[in-house]
């Protein structure tokens, strides 16, 4: 298993080592399971109140949508087509009436938005909200993190930094603008784009949950390549200029270190050209932007106008 640096990933590395043959290869967005002539993709994703969200920020319906969309995003990153979701919900007794129903509305809507059904779940009383979403899909052309090759171009869907902008406004006790709020509360799992990129020969793909800086490192580590990102090309969310100004850092760095955008980062062979990206983007309703390249070597590096940039808080060669 090859993950980028970080204490969370050290823990996962130790678990994989200790489990040995009791575990399948871990560390990709999805587990892949061959059943007859089909390949299934499975992923599971835990969302906790006061860790991943606060009740005061989001409606119950939005909490359900967001947790489900985040889990479905792992299927998107595998190029998979969603089939169903299983929802385990821990709910405080005071919320076990209408709020629970609204939360499950959000789960059901996110699933239905990508053609998946709620297949089952579990319900328990808890001190605070707990949502675990397991997603299952079929993957005709599964794309793992490990297939990137030197010479590949690196593309990203959508715009970056919106979820971080919302989060920081909330943490400052303010209300985010509606576009930033939407990024955080109602992310879109990029299922059509993921499938389209897989069909067009994607070598490696990952969804941006930890943030571009960290996730680019995972893709590079898994592919055994170096990844170089040109910060000047990053597609920025409309809220980032103001949010970065408030934070006192350049907008591109702000976006590169923002997490939970749930966009796709993908290594495409050089034959995949700008024109093809544009037509795929129109087909899927989301822009594709070329932001970097893979090369021999290791680690992730970030460049601005030809100068290597150290991303504060992110140690890319650690």
Give the DSSP H or E segment for 244.
helix 240-247
Element (H, E) at 118: strand 117-125
Residue among 135 and 284 whose Cβ is closer to a copy of itself: 135
51 binds a copy of itself (CB under 8 A): yes
Query: Does residue 42 belong to the site contacting a copy of itself (CB under 8 A)?
Result: yes
Binding residues for a copy of itself restricted to 53-112, rule: CB under 8 A:
83-84, 86-90, 96, 100-101, 104-105, 108-109, 111-112
Contact 166, 180 (CB under 8 A): yes
Asked if 79 and 141 touch (Cβ cutoff 8 Å), the reply is: yes
Whether the CB-CB separation of 53 and 46 falls below 8 Å is answered with no
C-alpha 318/C-alpha 312 separation (Å) is: 13
| 214 is a site residue for a copy of itself (CB under 8 A) | no
Interaction residues for a copy of itself, span 112-131 (CB under 8 A): 112, 117-128, 130
Tell me how far apart the alpha carbons of residues 314 and 318 are, in angstroms, rounded to a whole number.
Answer: 9
State yes or no: residue 33 binds a copy of itself (CB under 8 A).
Answer: yes
Considering only 8, 175, 274, 283, the residue that binds a copy of itself (CB under 8 A) is 8
Say if residues 280 and 155 touch (Cβ distance below 8 Å): no
- Tell me whether residue 29 or residue 152 sits nearer to a copy of itself (CB atom): 29
Listed ranges 38-46, 195-203, 216-224, 229-237: which one lies at the site for a copy of itself (CB under 8 A): 38-46
CB of 97 or CB of 297, closer to a copy of itself: 97
Neighbours of 230 (CB within 10 A): 17
Q: Could you say whether residue 1 binds a copy of itself (CB under 8 A)?
A: no
306's CB contacts (< 8 A; 6+ apart) are: none
Among residues 81, 45, 82, the alpha carbon closest in space to that of 66 is found at: 45
Residues that bind a copy of itself in the complex, under the rule CB under 8 A: 8, 11-12, 14-15, 18-19, 22-24, 26, 28, 30-31, 33, 35-38, 40, 42-46, 48, 51-52, 83-84, 86-90, 96, 100-101, 104-105, 108-109, 111-112, 117-128, 130, 132, 134, 136, 138
């Amino acid at each position: 298993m090859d993950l980028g640096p970080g204490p969370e990933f050290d823990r996962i590395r130790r678990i994989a080592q200790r489990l040995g043959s009791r575990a399948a290869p871990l560390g990709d967005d999805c587990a892949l399971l061959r059943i007859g002539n089909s390949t299934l993709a499975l992923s599971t994703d835990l969302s906790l109140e006061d860790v991943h969200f606060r009740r005061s920020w989001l409606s119950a319906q939005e909490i359900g949508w967001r947790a489900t969309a985040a889990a479905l995003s792992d299927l998107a990153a595998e190029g998979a087509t969603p089939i169903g979701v299983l929802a385990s919900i821990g709910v405080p007794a005071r919320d076990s009436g209408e709020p629970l129903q609204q939360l499950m509305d959000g789960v059901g809507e996110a699933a239905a938005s990508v053609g998946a059904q709620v297949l089952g779940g579990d319900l328990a009383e808890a001190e605070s909200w707990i949502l675990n979403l397991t997603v299952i899909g079929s993957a005709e052309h599964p794309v793992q993190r490990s297939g990137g090759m030197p010479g590949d171009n690196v593309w990203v869907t959508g715009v970056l930094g919106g979820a971080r902008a919302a989060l920081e406004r909330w943490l400052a006790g303010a209300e985010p603008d509606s576009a930033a709020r939407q990024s955080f509360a109602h992310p879109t799992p990029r299922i059509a784009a993921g499938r389209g990129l897989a069909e067009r020969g994607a070598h490696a793909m990952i969804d941006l949950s930890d943030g571009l800086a960290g996730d680019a490192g995972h893709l590079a580590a898994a592919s055994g390549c170096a990844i170089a990102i040109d910060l000047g090309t990053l597609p920025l969310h409309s809220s980032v200029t103001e949010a970065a100004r408030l934070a006192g850092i350049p907008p591109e760095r702000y976006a590169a270190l923002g997490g939970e955008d749930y966009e796709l980062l993908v290594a495409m062979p050089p034959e995949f050209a700008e024109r093809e990206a544009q037509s795929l983007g129109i087909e899927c309703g989301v822009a594709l932007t070329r932001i970097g390249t893979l090369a021999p070597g290791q680690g992730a590096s970030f460049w601005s106008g030809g100068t290597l940039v150290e991303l504060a808080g992110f140690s890319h060669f650690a």
